Amino acid sequence: MKANFDSIDLESQLHDCLQQQKNCATIEGIESIAVRKAHLLSLKAIINDHREALIEAVNQDYGNRSRHETLLAEIITATDDINSSIKHLKKWTKVQKRKVDLSMYFGAKNRLIPQPLGVVGLIVPWNFPINLLFSQLSAVFAAGNKAMVKLSENSRHLAALLIQLIPQYFEPEKLQIFDETGGVGVAFSKLPFDHLIFTGSGATGKKVMAAAAENLTAVTLELGGKSPAVIDPNYPLTKAVERLMFVKQFNAGQICTTIDYLFVHKSQKDHFIQAASEWVGKHVPDIHHKDYTSIIDDRAFQRLCHCVEEAENKGATVINLNNQQADSSARKFPLTLIFDSTDEMEIDTRETFGPILMVKTYLQPEEVVTYIAQRDRPLAFYPFSQDKALVNFYINNVMSGGVSVNDALFHVGQHDLPFGGVGASGMGHYHGYEGFLNFSKMRPVFYQASFSSLKFLAPPYGNLADRVLKFLTHAKS
């Protein structure tokens, strides 16, 4: 079922789809574990049956997207997430027993029952559309919900493919995919979903949250920000550079949890530049190679060019690690280091979202903590150190959405760890059990016993009520 959004009844078409799914949820009731597993297996089948077509669609949307990066960060990761949901589904859906206050409610029972919310809306970005779409749907379907998905305007080829494929695996009452043809995102975020998850920029996230608030729709916001890393001078610098630069070049830096800026000890500045140059010379010597991903569109490419030019004009030191000029025709941007930046520069104040790494020097760990604490809380934080006490100092004093110690990015790929931001970098979680919880109503149910002592407390209150309340007061004090 492919909606036609060329007409003026865009909002009514979206509302009709939402109502169709809500009606279906009401009629069908709560899905069994077997049905949920079948839906999860269908998600996996889409990936397995059409792997090459999905890879090529994302490649076309980027202009050039490394096949290996799509396999690692999208296909394999999403499949693993679905497999994890299938494996743990029975345990997640189990009714939980909770303690009863026996002094007043002897014989009663408390239970916590996971139940689906209903219809969940997903607004999926362009940078890892397969991963984010299927891993979020994994949690949504594990919880027994229906879903409507709005893809990015930069995912047109992928959207066209999925709009064609999805009806082969799901009825529209269960899952619908919508392309961004202009104005769809705004109308989509205004729908009265039972939950809405948005992944993207903080500025757009605020608009989505404001629109959802009109319907009191709960939101999960997966935003971004400037995620920092710090290298302990006693940590092997070459190893740190190897891991940091791998992550920085991955997807050409177009990752919400990439390293946005790095603290290097003042004594190691020159050594760091040399090590970074050597790593790039060995692993990414030519930005025109097919394994080096393009910047998503001309606007993003020009923003990166402006960012570097502005920093250099205002006194920053710019080091082009590839010694190649940015290529506007292929939208290939060289790996770049920027030193001596200030708050007057865009590089210091805006999420880079590209292969540019701002580097700052420091002498004491307290300087690192102070700098980060004065800014919005980041989505991720990456301390490199073999000193457990120092690592704990950083973790305890730098608040972020998640942490990878002695590496970067890879906490996001751990399906038993929840993923989500804090403050300006987002709210709510998904992945694993926390994803299941996020899209479930953990419904508390109290079962009264056949005999209830509370009947002795009914008015008119007399001596018996006084004695009971006196006893309970002393028992609780």
Phi-psi region of 409 (alpha: psi -120 to 50; beta: other; left: phi over 0): left
Q: Is 170 inside any structural domain? A: yes
Instruction: Indicate whether this model's pTM tops 0.85.
Output: yes
CB 220 within 8 A of CB 202: no
Point out the catalytic residue in the list 69, 180, 222, 351: 222
Domain total for the chain? 2
Task: Tell me the pLDDT tens digit for each residue of 26-51.
Answer: 999 999 999 999 999 999 999 999 99
Q: Is 423 inside any structural domain? A: no
Close Cβ partners of 10 (under 8 Å, ≥ 6 residues apart): 183, 184, 187
Q: Please check whether residues 328 and 298 belong to one and the same domain.
A: yes
Alpha carbon distances (Å) from 119 to 33, 291, 314, 320 = 18, 39, 50, 48
pLDDT at 468: 80
Q: Please check whether residues 212 and 261 belong to one and the same domain.
A: no
Alpha-carbon distance of 385 to 404, in angstroms, equals 11
pLDDT at 179: 94
CB 226 within 8 A of CB 378: yes
- Burial class (CB within 10 angstroms; exposed 0-12, middle 13-18, buried 19+) of 388: exposed
Domain that holds residue 240: 228-415
Alpha-carbon distance of 69 to 396, in angstroms, equals 33
Alpha-carbon distance of 289 to 66, in angstroms, equals 9
For residue 268, pLDDT over 90 is answered with: yes
Q: Please check whether residues 247 and 117 belong to one and the same domain.
A: no
pLDDT at 8: 54
Task: Tell me the pLDDT tens digit for each residue of 275-297.
Answer: 999 999 999 999 999 999 999 99
Q: Please check whether residues 154 and 30 belong to one and the same domain.
A: yes
For residue 103, pLDDT over 60 is answered with: yes
What values do phi and psi take at 253, rounded to 5?
Answer: 75, 5
Q: Is 348 inside any structural domain? A: yes
Q: Please check whether residues 124 and 152 belong to one and the same domain.
A: yes
Q: Please check whether residues 22 and 132 belong to one and the same domain.
A: yes
Q: Is 4 inside any structural domain? A: no
Average pLDDT, stretch 422-443?
96
For residue 6, pLDDT over 80 is answered with: no
Q: Please check whether residues 158 and 208 belong to one and the same domain.
A: yes
pLDDT at 457: 80
Q: Please check whether residues 265 and 167 belong to one and the same domain.
A: no
Task: Tell me the pLDDT tens digit for each residue of 112-163.
Answer: 999 999 999 999 999 999 999 999 999 999 999 999 999 999 999 999 999 9
Alpha-carbon distance of 203 to 192, in angstroms, equals 21
Long-range contacts of 59-62 (CB under 8 A, 24+ apart): 60/157, 61/126, 61/129, 61/154, 61/155, 61/156, 61/157, 61/158, 61/296, 62/293, 62/294, 62/296
Residue-averaged pLDDT of the chain = 95
Q: Is 333 inside any structural domain? A: yes
Q: Domain holding 268: CATH number? A: 3.40.309.10
Task: Using alpha carbons, select from 298, 293, 1, 56 the residue that is nearest to residue 166.
Answer: 1
Flag the least confident range among 45-54, 235-244, 451-460. 451-460
For residue 25, pLDDT over 90 is answered with: yes
- CB half-sphere exposure, 42, CA atoms < 13 A: 18
Neighbouring CB atoms inside 10 A of 309's CB total 12
pLDDT at 1: 38
Point out the catalytic residue in the list 17, 173, 256, 307: 256
Give yes or no: 52 in active site. no
Average pLDDT, stretch 310-317?
97
For residue 345, pLDDT over 60 is answered with: yes
Give yes or no: 24 in active site. no
Q: Is 455 inside any structural domain? A: no
Q: Please check whether residues 104 and 49 belong to one and the same domain.
A: yes
